[in-house]
Amino acid sequence: MRISRFLSLALWLLAVPAASFGQFGVGITIAPPALPVYTQPMAPADGYLWTPGYWAHGEEGYFWVPGTWVMAPEAGLLWTPGYWGWGGNAFAWNGGYWGANVGFYGGVNYGFGYGGLGYQGGYWRNGAFNYNRSVNNVNVNNIHNVYNKTVINNTTFNHVSYNGGNGGVSARPTAAEESAAHERHTPATAAQSDHQEAAGKNHELLASVNHGRPAIAATAKPGEFSGKGVVAAKQAGAPYKAPENKAAENKAAANRTNENKAAENKAAATRTNENKAAENKAAATRTNENKAAENKAAATRTSENKAAENKAAATRSNENKAAENKAAATRTNENKAAENKAAATRSNENKAAKPKEARPAESSKPTAAHAQPAPRQHAAPRAEAASHSAPHTETAAHAQPAPRPAKEAPKAEERPRK
């Protein structure tokens, strides 16, 4: 049934020029309430343009978005209100927009210059907006660019808030409105979006609570839902009827509940899978980190062992070289000492031998018979004592010891033969 509903909506959208719509919402089977009857608050200052109130749809049904004065995004732009349109089996919301010309807004008579076709509330000239006092509430003491022009609505003001379907407005876009739909558009301002969001959070603005007669029908500025600029609705645009198809509402609510549960379950499953994936990834990361740490530690130990081995080998090599150098030095020193000792010994022996060789040669006069030296005569002890005790006195002739008595010459026959 839902599929056929959206097919019908799609066919209807094809029948209406697509460029005439700002946006499309979720299909709603229940028509929005009639537009409430209210007066327009006074314009707060020059440059503000009126944006009419409308029924929006939320989780709890329709709620009223109060009409308000809004500053245009830039000079020369006009506001085209949004509207609800019937598509055969459902209503779709077509959002409003800013543009150089006012486009199609479903033929809905929102009042205050928006009579269902175009805009009769004012116009731009030389960067200033001129207000039509016949449809706008302005203070001429503060705003001087005003004029009066009677507005005649070609449509019956019956407060219907939607186009098409049972009881809706049957207007179709004109050639001028279709042309405006193809122009450059600017979406609703942030102030307008915040204004609608705030209305959606206000329980008193629900149609099921105010029965089509909201206590805040219009405001002087966006989002100001209290104070002297707030205007309450005088009455509902038509008797409020609670949705008759309770079963459809309950079914829709059940469907939303089931969809929400399915979405929650899917989200929970997704989170579970993501958590598992994250845990697996974390575990894999830890494993890789542990392996990397182990490999690094093993590599470090290997490097340390190699370094220790190389250091020990270098130490042993240095010790061996030092020992060899020390042994070589020791041997060299021992050899030098032995050589020095031997040299000293030879020197001493030579020195000891020299005095003996230095004795004067015994004077001998050769004789024919080879006379033998006379035997030595021992001097008297006293003379020796005297000679030891008395100082030596040298003479010019250096007295020589007395020659030994010559031996008797051998007889001729005893002479050795030559």
What's the rounded Cα separation, in Å, for the pair 19 and 28?
21
Query: Which of residues 294 and 145 earns the better pLDDT score?
Result: 145
The band of 68, judged by pLDDT with boundaries at 50, 70 and 90, is very high
Helices (H), 203-357: 207-210, 246-357
Report yes or no on 407 lying in a domain.
no
For residues 133 and 122, is the Cβ–Cβ distance under 8 A? no
What's the rounded Cα separation, in Å, for the pair 112 and 135?
5
Residues 211 and 255 in one domain: no
Tens of pLDDT, residues 289-343: 888 888 887 887 887 888 878 887 778 888 888 888 888 888 888 888 888 888 8
Q: What is the mean pLDDT of residues 87-93?
A: 91
Residues 258 and 138 in one domain: no
Residues 22 and 103 in one domain: yes
Residues 206 and 274 in one domain: no
The band of 195, judged by pLDDT with boundaries at 50, 70 and 90, is very high
pLDDT in the model for residue 151? 86
Report yes or no on 396 lying in a domain.
no
Contacts of 207 (CB under 8 A, 6+ apart): 32, 33, 55, 61, 62, 63, 64, 240
Residues 218 and 293 in one domain: no
Report yes or no on 389 lying in a domain.
no
What's the rounded Cα separation, in Å, for the pair 320 and 308?
18
pLDDT in the model for residue 139? 95
Closest-CA residue to 44 (of 230, 192, 221): 221
408: which DSSP letter? P
Report yes or no on 411 lying in a domain.
no
Task: State pTM to two decimals.
Answer: 0.56
pLDDT in the model for residue 157? 54
3-class DSSP state of 84? strand
Report yes or no on 64 lying in a domain.
yes
Q: What is the mean pLDDT of residues 33-57?
A: 97
Last residue of a domain, one of 244, 264, 291: 244
Query: What is the tally of structural domains in the chain?
Result: 2
What's the rounded Cα separation, in Å, for the pair 410 and 407?
9
3-class DSSP state of 101? coil
Residues 100 and 217 in one domain: yes
**Is the dihedral angle over the CA atoms 156, 108, 153, 235 positive or is it negative?**
positive
Containing structural domain, residue 132:
2-244
Report yes or no on 405 lying in a domain.
no
pLDDT in the model for residue 67? 98
Tokens 């005003």, residue located: 146
Residues 239 and 277 in one domain: no
The band of 382, judged by pLDDT with boundaries at 50, 70 and 90, is very low
Report yes or no on 385 lying in a domain.
no
Residues 22 and 113 in one domain: yes
Contacts of 189 (CB under 8 A, 6+ apart): 70, 71, 73, 98
**Could you tell me the CA-to-CA distances from 168 to 34, 92, 159, 275, 343 in Å, in that order?**
10, 13, 10, 52, 144
Residues 124 and 191 in one domain: yes
Residues 220 and 263 in one domain: no
pLDDT in the model for residue 402? 53
Last residue of a domain, one of 244, 268, 301: 244
Stretch among 13-17, 324-328, 404-408 having the lowest mean pLDDT: 13-17
235: which DSSP letter? B
Residues 213 and 293 in one domain: no
For residues 54 and 106, is the Cβ–Cβ distance under 8 A? no
Last residue of a domain, one of 344, 368, 385: 344
Residues 48 and 151 in one domain: yes
Q: What is the mean pLDDT of residues 153-169?
A: 81
